[in-house]
Amino acid sequence: MTRSVRPIPERRLRRPMGWNSWDCFGTTVTEGEVLVNATFMRDHMLPHGCDTVVVDIQWYEPTARAHGYNPDAPLPLDDHGRQLPAPDRFPSAADATGLGPLADRVHQLGLRFGLHIMRGIPRRAVAARLPAAGTGWTADEIADTGSTRVSVVGRTPTLLPIGHIGIRAERGERGADGVSALSSPEQISLLTLWLLSRSPLMMGGGDLPTSPQETIELLTNDEALDAPWRSRDSLEVLREKDLVLWTAREHRRTYPLRRRVLPCRQPQAGHRAARLHRCPQRRPRPGTVDPHRRDSRRPMPAGRPPRTRPLPLQPRTCEAGLTQAEV
């Protein structure tokens, strides 16, 4: 698959895009499943900006099971109380090599490797009074054993529950065929909202090789993906019943972004998740607020006329399930 719009911006200018193991494999994902999905991403999605593979929670739990957690699980720890990968699910981690070999293989595919970790000290390290690395203290001396609060390092973006999900996941509403229970129009609306808010686009673990082709096409829609990469100042400017109108700016141009919140016709393969129209930036009428001004939200001076006369919106429904409005 090749891009037909513009080159992908530098990595530091883009939100994370990729795959997370949670919504499909839950706490039981294996090294082989990670590599199969990473290889599929390299072959079909990397040219469109999807470049991150994340192994979710309990990669260190040798007795992990689908649809639940085991209390007081026998976690493998190193000499300093740090969790080690479950050897039955991550064989390359043998001999205390950790997830380094798996991360190296993902990097060789041209992808980035991510890991779900939780801040704190494992209870088993505290019980064993293991020494904390780089300190003269033991785990039981530095742990706050009276706290029950759980904190996650960093922030996990809300995952996109689409594709073939719920194979062994704790959660995940799906149909009889194992595919996400969201209809095609609902998936388009969901992704449109993610794009409007410039959210990280992390697919929540839908098994990529067995997901419908329509799902992959939705996640690799170059024209739709281009909007959050090159625009800023997203703002809702109109809401009338089931029609919502947002705008976003790219330098001196304005993108009107539209979505319809009611179900409509099923999209056909290849149709875009959002239609973007470039138009010259217009100044608001006197006495109204310019939503894109950085200095304030104060009204425009009454003596300064707009450059162009505002035109009425003429909405029409496109076949992708969204509503366009000619400006």
pLDDT of 258-288, one tens digit each? Answer: 544 433 333 333 333 333 333 334 444 454 4
**Looking at the predicted structure, is the pLDDT value of residue 178 above 60?**
yes
Q: Which two structure tokens, joined as six digits, stand for 284?
A: 């608001």
Q: Could you tell me if 243 and 307 lie in one domain?
A: yes
Residue 131 placed within a domain: no
Domain count, the chain: 2
Q: Find all residues with CB under 8 Å of 192, minimum gap 6, and list them.
A: 224, 257, 259, 273, 274, 322
Q: Could you tell me if 46 and 111 lie in one domain?
A: yes
Q: Could you tell me if 239 and 292 lie in one domain?
A: yes
Q: Could you tell me if 78 and 165 lie in one domain?
A: yes
User: Percentages helix, strand, coil for the chain, rounded to the nearest 5?
Assistant: 25, 20, 55
Q: What is the mean pLDDT of residues 233-246?
A: 81
Plot region of 196 (φ>0 → left; ψ -120 to 50 → alpha; else → beta) = alpha
Computed over its alpha carbons, how large is the radius of gyration of the chain?
Answer: 24
Q: Find all residues with CB under 8 Å of 247, minimum gap 6, and list them.
A: 233, 234, 235, 237, 254, 255, 256, 257, 291, 292
Q: Find all residues with CB under 8 Å of 109, minimum gap 6, and list them.
A: 38, 39, 41, 42
Q: Could you tell me if 182 and 87 lie in one domain?
A: yes
Q: How many CA atoms lie less than 13 Å away from 61 in the CB half-sphere? A: 21
- Identify the band that residue 146 occupies on the pLDDT scale cut at 50, 70 and 90: confident
Q: Find all residues with CB under 8 Å of 70, minimum gap 6, and list them.
A: 61, 63, 64
Residue 260 placed within a domain: yes
Distance CA 128, CA 32 (A): 33
Distance CA 211, CA 164 (A): 5
Which of 20, 117, 115, 24 shows the shortest CA–CA distance to 66? Answer: 24
Q: What is the mean pLDDT of residues 5-14?
A: 78
End of a domain among 189, 218, 247?
Answer: 218
Q: Between these two residues, 295 and 257, which has the higher pLDDT value? A: 257
Residue 136 placed within a domain: no
Percent of the chain with pLDDT over 90: 35
Distance CA 210, CA 259 (A): 29
The mean pLDDT of the chain is 75
Residue 267 placed within a domain: yes
End of a domain among 164, 194, 218?
Answer: 218
Residue 258 placed within a domain: yes
pLDDT digits (tens, 9 = 90+) for 287-307: 444 444 444 444 545 554 444
End of a domain among 166, 193, 218?
Answer: 218
Q: Could you tell me if 37 and 108 lie in one domain?
A: yes
pLDDT confidence of residue 159: 82
Residue 316 placed within a domain: yes
H helices present in the chain, as ranges: 22-25, 31-44, 100-108, 123-127, 139-142, 184-196, 213-219, 222-230
Question: What is the extent of the structural domain holding 270?
Answer: 231-326
For residues 322 and 315, the answer to whether their CB atoms sit within 8 Å is: no
- Identify the band that residue 28 occupies on the pLDDT scale cut at 50, 70 and 90: very high
Quick one: how far is CA 303 from the chain centroid? 46
**Looking at the predicted structure, is the pLDDT value of residue 150 above 70?**
no
Q: Could you tell me if 213 and 266 lie in one domain?
A: no
Q: Could you tell me if 48 and 101 lie in one domain?
A: yes
Most confident of 163-172, 208-217, 267-276, 294-303: 208-217
How many residues belong to the chain? 327
pLDDT confidence of residue 170: 60
Q: Which two structure tokens, joined as six digits, stand for 80?
A: 């300093």
Q: Could you tell me if 181 and 292 lie in one domain?
A: no
Q: Between these two residues, 167 and 154, which has the higher pLDDT value? A: 167
Distances (CA, A) of 209 to 28, 51, 215, 243, 295: 18, 16, 11, 35, 49
Q: Torsion over CA of 203, 206, 211 and 217, rounded to 10 degrees? A: 0
Quick one: how far is CA 144 from the chain centroid? 33
Distance CA 321, CA 266 (A): 7
Q: Could you tell me if 304 and 243 lie in one domain?
A: yes
Q: Could you tell me if 62 and 203 lie in one domain?
A: yes
Residue 135 placed within a domain: no
Strand partners, 201: 17
Q: Could you tell me if 108 and 257 lie in one domain?
A: no
Residue 5 placed within a domain: no
